[in-house]
Amino acid sequence: MSTTSGTNGSHASEHNVPIELLQTSMLGGQGPVESVVNFHGTRSANRSLVVLDNRALDRECFAQSLTSHKIGMEVLAFGTIEDWKAEKDLHPPLSAILLNVGGCKITDALVADEIKKLTSEFRTTPVVVLADTDDLTQILKALEYGARGYIPSSVGIDVCVEAIGLALAGGIFVPASSVLAMRQTIASGGEAARPMAGLFTSRQAEVAQALRRGKANKIIAYELNLRESTVKVHIRNIMKKLKATNRTEVAYKINDLFPGEMNAA
């Protein structure tokens, strides 16, 4: 396997950002090899930030943007943490990890496992998540899994830099829009529960929410610690109250009657 290495701007002034590009290509019979692009913010950087993203163009562009802001660290772009481990002895000590999950949900099994793995293995190194959504549920899950910040792609690069700095200082960054949404959810939480409580008993409301999510009777019985026969009785009573003829119609009518409550659930 051959590795091509080149340095752009070797005769440029010190004010230019030196960029070292190491890229390997597909070789016959050897399988795909990840490309690695290293952007050095300063020649004297004594610590590094690792950007993890399995999309080569996205990670390289993002790393270059961070470098252009002179964050005082060597910014390394890798497809996986294993790729970084193979190169870590060539770079300054790791100070932070920025994991870009793109349009994937934090609750997706693979994404959740990766965040948990990183935060568990690098306990003293802040892991910050970058994602396309600013959905409150996804943000809270990322923090629950151990992330020290959540950056939606709707913010600018200046905010990203500040978020990384906050994580390095021991803080946790979440977008302001999501904090406001959290306040509204908390403020309206009590009001949202009353309409369903007025129509169903507390147990029927729990079963109704499970039906809305498409859960089978056995699953509902297990999660609510009920007999399956009891669940069936609750479902029949719910169908009578809603004048529904099947489970699908129950889910539709619940969504129509209680949209705010079901979205917050």
13-22, 60-69, 138-147: least confidently modelled range: 13-22
- Give me the mean pLDDT over the 6-35 stretch: 37
* Shared-domain flag, residues 134 and 64: yes
Rounded Cα distance between 163 and 155, Å, is: 11
Residue 145 is predicted with a pLDDT of 94
Residue 205 is predicted with a pLDDT of 86
- pLDDT band per the 50, 70, 90 thresholds, residue 188: low
* Shared-domain flag, residues 55 and 147: yes
Work out the angle between the directed axes of helices 247-257 and 228-242 (0-180°, nearest 10). Answer: 60
* Shared-domain flag, residues 39 and 120: yes
* Shared-domain flag, residues 162 and 198: no
* Shared-domain flag, residues 33 and 106: yes
Residues constituting the chain: 265
| CA neighbor of 211 nearest in space, from 174, 172, 241 | 241
Residue 184 is predicted with a pLDDT of 62
pLDDT greater than 60 at residue 34: no
> Can you read off the two tokens belonging to residue 140?
């809270």
| CA neighbor of 153 nearest in space, from 17, 47, 55, 79 | 55
* Shared-domain flag, residues 127 and 14: yes
Overall number of domains in the chain: 2
pLDDT in tens, 80-111: 999 999 999 999 999 999 999 999 999 999 99
- pLDDT band per the 50, 70, 90 thresholds, residue 196: low
pLDDT greater than 60 at residue 14: no
> Can you read off the two tokens belonging to residue 223?
């999660």
pLDDT greater than 70 at residue 235: yes
Residue ending a domain, among 176, 196, 223, is 176
What CATH number is given to the structural domain containing 211? Answer: 1.10.10.10
State the residue range of the domain holding 27.
4-176
On whether residue 100 sits in a domain, the answer given is: yes
Rounded Cα distance between 151 and 130, Å, is: 5
202-206, Cβ contacts within 8 angstroms, sequence gap of 24 or more: 203/234, 204/234, 204/237, 204/238
